[in-house]
Chains A and B, each alone.
Chain A
Amino acid sequence: MHTLTFSQKIEYSDDHKGIYFDIFLIADRKNFVAAKVKLDTGADYCIFQKTYADFLDLDVETGNRKEFRTANSSFTAFGHEVSIQFLDFEFMTTVYFVTDEEFRVSVLGRIGFLDHFQIGLIEYEQFLFIDSLENYYQ
């Protein structure tokens, strides 16, 4: 038997549109933008539309270039270090901004987001349990 404990419980919408998290993206400790971003446990990285970089006053193409593949295609994005504030958690991480302005979704993926937390999911009840790794290590 394995047991995890969590400090936070989120009840997400049962509209079958996905699990969205309310976050602040923060760059250079002074530029903020608020967003609803889809949790995508199948995404390797955190991907954001370029508009968010515009609000953060980031020059997207100066970031670390990375090619991504999808189920049916590929795209280019550029990594920048930002802070993410989510619930009452805040952490520095790298997210990737897509240059294609037609890109329609932003997602929180494994590297850069999920690897900062322990998470439990009861999809049938639309409950998500989450806590920082500090709790796991204590």
Chain B
Amino acid sequence: MTPVDFQDITGFDNSAITVSYMISADNGDVFSTKLEDALNKDRKIPKFDFTDVQRNPILTVFNTPPKPGFPKIYRTETKVDLSLSQKWLNENRHNYVGKWIVLDGDKLIEASNNPKDLVAAAKNAGVKIPFVHFVEDDSRPFVGGWL
């Protein structure tokens, strides 16, 4: 059981919300109830215990029911930021045209024509989230007829 404390959600003013809400977990489970039913006597959202709840569960408030099949998107606490890798790429890409590269932030881990080398190199270096990129020759414009 993974405890999830929805009181930790920033910017959520439960006193202003009177509509129903839906809680989505990464595993696709959706928990829906009326906010009034979920508030405790102090008008706080209590802690929930869900089995297999993944990172970054979110609270979503709908004023109107969404169209059926509406895809669920969760909001994370931090944004994806690859600026260090992008900076390295801007400064060094000309040396690696036609190669795959793997970076850990702005540190080059491996460059190779063989992508299999990169996987091994990243694992050996213990990189948690490797930035992987094929450095295209982008001297000509691109359109989507690829082969």
Interface residues of chain A, those whose CB is within 8 Å of chain B, are 16-18, 22-24, 29, 32-36, 38, 40, 42-43, 49-52, 54-55, 70-75, 83, 85-93, 101, 103-105, 107, 115-117, 132-134, 137-138
Contact = CB atoms under 8 A, between A and B. Distances in A.
Nearest to A134: B60
A90 B130 CA distance: 18
Contacts of B16: none
Contacts, number: 137
B84 to A, nearest CB: 10
B56 to A, nearest CB: 6
B73 A73 contact: no
Contact of B78 (A29, A88, A133): A88
B29 to A, nearest CB: 12
Interface in B78-100: 78-82, 85-86, 89, 100
Given A33-B129, A101-B115, A137-B62, A90 B144 contact: no
A4 to B, nearest CB: 16
Given A70-B147, A133-B70, A55 B130 contact: yes
B132 A133 contact: no
B145 A73 contact: yes
A18 B142 contact: yes
B79 A88 contact: yes
A12 to B, nearest CB: 12
Interface string B119-147: 10010000011111110101001111111
B115 A24 contact: no
Contact of B67 (A42, A85, A117, A137): A137
Contacts of B142: 17-18, 38, 105
17 contacts: A34-B80, A34-B129, A34-B131, A51-B100, A54-B118, A55-B130, A73-B147, A74-B147, A83-B26, A87-B79, A88-B79, A92-B72, A93-B71, A105-B146, A132-B73, A132-B75, A134-B62
B132 A33 contact: yes
A90 B74 contact: yes
A89 B73 contact: yes
The interface centre, meaning the residue of B71, B75, B133, B141 with most chain A CB atoms within 10 A of its CB, is B71
Nearest to B22: A134
B37 interface: no
B146 A75 contact: yes
B138 A88 contact: no
